[in-house]
Amino acid sequence: MITSLSLPHLALADQEALADLFRRGTPGNTARAWERDLAYITAWKLAAFGQPLSWPEDEGVALRFILDHADDLTETHSPARDTAAALVAQGLRRSLACPAPATLDRRVASWRAFHRMKNLASPFDAPLVAQARSRARRAAARPPAPKSDHPITRPVLEDMLDSCDDSRRGRRDRAALMLGWASGGRRRSEIVALNHDDLDLREWAAKGLIRIRLLTTKTTGADVAPRLPLKGRAARAVLDWLSTACIEEGPVFRPVSQADRVLDRRLTPEGLARIVRHPLHIAGYPPGFASAHGLRAGFLTQAALDGAPLQAAMRLSLHRSAAQAQRYYADVELADNPAANLLG
C-alpha cells in the first residue's frame, strides 16, 4: 500500500527510501487496516463527490465524511444514504446503519496518517471538523460489543482439550490452545507469528519452563519484545507438538493436511480461528459460542475468578490500559468474586 509518498521536494530516490522505511516499520496488521480504509475512503469520495481523493483534502470533504457516518441512514432519503448504498453494493460497507464510533475513529485516523506520510496538514485537525467528530462519537455511543460471545474459561478450555485426539492435527490444536491461553491470552496474530527460535528452552530441564518471545504485539515492538513464561501442561503440549511434527526451525504452528501431514507453511490467523471453533463444536458447544479472542477473554476472566491481582494478570496479557483489562474483572459475577469469601 505504501508504494510512494509523493513528496516533490525530495529526490525520487529519497522518496523510495522513505516509502520502504514506512513499509518495514509498519506492523502488518496496521498496513492491512490502512489498505482497507484507503479503499473505503477512496470509494466514498467518488460516490459522494464524483472525484478522487485530494492531498491535502478539503475541510468540507472531511466534515461531510463525518456527517455521512453520524446517522442511521436506513429510514432516510438523502445523498448520504445514496452514497452509503453504493458502498454497500461494492461490499465496502455492511449496512445503512450508523457505523460504530470506533470504526469512524479508525478510518479518520488512517486518513490522517496518509496526510502525515505526505507531510501535509490533515483537515480533521481543523477546529470545526474536530468538534463535529467529537459530537458524532457521542451521538453514536453504544456499549462496547465483546470480541467473543463467551470467554473461554478453564472449564471450557478443558472440554476443548478433551476433544483433541492424538493425531498430528489434534496435538497441534492442543498445543496452540494451551499456549494461547496459558501465556496470557494471546491474540491470533501473536500465536501464528511464533517461530521455533522464539521459544527459549534453556530452562526446561531445570525448571520445566519455556520462555516465549513475542517480537510484535499491539502494544510492544521488536525493540522491547516481551519474554513470557509457559509452564506445566501447556509447555509439555508445545514440546510434544514440536517433536511430533519434527519442527526444529521456522513457524511453530503450521497447517496439517487431511492426510495428517504437517505442511511447511505458517498457519494463518483464520486457521487459528478454526482451531478454536472445531474443538468447541466437538465438545458440544453451540455455533458461535466463542471466537479466538475468547482465549484472551477467558484467561483474564479466569484470573479474576481465581483471585489473581489485576496487575499480575496484565503482566502476562500485556494490556497497556488497566481500565480495559478491568472490564474482564468487572464482568465476573459478584457472588463469584473471591473477595466475597474472605470470612469463609
| CA–CA gap between residue 341 and residue 60 (Å, rounded) | 59
Residues 133, 166: one domain? no
| Number of domain units in the chain | 2
191-207: pLDDT as tens digits: 999 999 999 999 999 99
Q: What is the CATH number of the domain that holds 58?
A: 1.10.150
- Grid cell in block for residue 128: 470545526
Across-strand partners of 209?
231
Report the pLDDT value the prediction gives residue 8, as an integer from 0 to 100.
55
Report the pLDDT value the prediction gives residue 81, as an integer from 0 to 100.
94
Confidence check: pLDDT of 213 > 80: yes
**Residue 334 belongs to a domain:** yes
Q: What is the CATH number of the domain that holds 291?
A: 1.10.443.10
Confidence check: pLDDT of 112 > 80: yes
Helix (H) or strand (E) holding 82: helix 79-89
Domain that holds residue 130: 12-139
Q: What is the mean pLDDT of the chain?
A: 87
Residues 197, 102: one domain? no
Residues 324, 190: one domain? yes
2-21: pLDDT as tens digits: 445 555 555 667 657 766 76
Confidence check: pLDDT of 77 > 60: yes
Residues 185, 129: one domain? no
With a CB cutoff of 8 Å and minimum separation 6, the contacts of 125 are 112
Of the pLDDT bands very low, low, confident and very high (cuts 50, 70, 90), residue 90 is very high
Residues 140/70, Cβ–Cβ less than 8 Å:
yes
Of the candidates 122, 118, 120, the one whose C-alpha atom is nearest the C-alpha of residue 19 is: 118
User: Strand order of the sheet with strand 209-213?
Assistant: 199-200, 209-213, 227-231
**Residue 265 belongs to a domain:** yes
Of the candidates 328, 298, 295, the one whose C-alpha atom is nearest the C-alpha of residue 310 is: 328
Q: Which of 112, 139, 166 is the last residue of a domain?
A: 139
**Residue 314 belongs to a domain:** yes
Residues 113, 170: one domain? no
With a CB cutoff of 8 Å and minimum separation 6, the contacts of 113 are 34
Residues 158, 90: one domain? no
Fill in the DSSP letter of residue 256.
Answer: B
Report the pLDDT value the prediction gives residue 344, as an integer from 0 to 100.
63
**Residue 1 belongs to a domain:** no
* Region 121-140 average pLDDT: 88
Residues 333, 264: one domain? yes
Angle at 196 between CA 194 and CA 202, to 5 degrees: 115
225-254: pLDDT as tens digits: 788 999 999 999 999 999 999 999 999 999
Class of residue 178 by CB neighbours under 10 A (exposed 0-12, middle 13-18, buried 19+): buried
Residues 123, 24: one domain? yes
